[in-house]
Structure 1
Amino acid sequence: MDSSTVILLAADTILLLHVLFVAFVVIGLVLIFVGKARAWSWIRNPWFRLIHLVAIGVVVIQSLIGVICPLTTIEMELRSRVGDTVYSGSFISHWLENILYYQLPPWVFVVCYMTFGAVVCASWFWIRPRGFRKSKSHHAP
């Protein structure tokens, strides 16, 4: 495998991580609401909820200050190193890019991210996570 192939594979891996991040944020919120309706206790896990909240918080802050996602920056840098045109290449990258990237004015994304972030914040209060306290052992000393 030559270095260009390795670099393109790394770029595709970064793109896949980006899609998984987006899926975690979007599907995570859906699962929180479905879990509320179905009484799933795991959706109240404080670590899951905190990571989910921080994830969308980072996206909202980046969009408000006009920072491009580091995953996008890294992917594009890798592709440019081997002279790859933006979003051409492997089958995986082609389809993942079509799912992840849209051509709309930046303000549309800011509004969408802020709205989604507000719903995630509201879910924190409507569907409260458990506390971060350590559970006490039920074993006798």
Structure 2
Amino acid sequence: MQDQHTYRLLADAVLLLHFAVVVFVVGGLVAVLVGNLLRWRWVNNLVFRVVHLAAIGVVVLQAWLGQLCPLTGLESWLRERAGEAAYSASFIEHWAQRILYYEAPFWVFTVSYTAFGLAVVAAWWYFPPKRNARHRPQSGA
């Protein structure tokens, strides 16, 4: 019984990590777009932009290869060990179905991930990252 509780806690931790990754990917693009309109320099920081591009790149690559996210697999495995039901689809698909009651074939999610990835690439091109995009106070007056 204690093992099931531990597996459930670990599965919940993976769920929170997965949610944080999704928020970073989606929120990162929103931050880049809105931040550039509001002239926030930090949104064009090269490290932030490279990590953001890599994150959506991994999602798109996995979708094109027909693979589920490793976090989805890990959480499902932990839930099974905890005696709970595992996901029958991808993380996003599972939660989109639960929240929006929307069901679609896997290819719809592949196209959606790809379109979002292209939006990130377009933002990269339209608002190019800068090597040192931290805020610096202006000197003199």
Match in the other structure for 1:75: 75
Contact 2:4 2:83 in 1 (8 A): no
Query: What stretches of structure 1 move > 4 A for 4+ residues in a row?
Result: 99-102
Match in the other structure for 1:24: 24
Shift of 1:2: 1.6
Contact 2:97 2:103 in 1 (8 A): no
Match in the other structure for 2:41: 41
Matched letter for residue 129 of structure 2? P
Contact 2:8 2:78 in 1 (8 A): yes
Q: CA RMSD in A?
A: 2.3
Aligned positions, number = 125
Unaligned runs of 5+ in 2: 88-94, 133-141
1:91-130 CA distance string (max 9 Å, x none): xxxx899459963210110110110000101111100111
1:16-46 CA distance string (max 9 Å, x none): 1111101100011001000010000000100
In structure 2, relative to structure 1, the CA distance for the partners of 1:19 and 1:7 (3 Å cut) is same
Match in the other structure for 1:90: none
TM normalised by structure 1 equals 0.81
Match in the other structure for 2:85: 85
Match in the other structure for 1:58: 58
Unaligned runs of 5+ in 1: 88-94, 133-141
**Identity across matched positions, percent:** 47
In structure 2, relative to structure 1, the CA distance for the partners of 1:15 and 1:103 (3 Å cut) is farther
1:47-104 CA distance string (max 9 Å, x none): 00000000000000000000110000000101111321236xxxxxxx8994599632
TM normalised by structure 2 equals 0.81
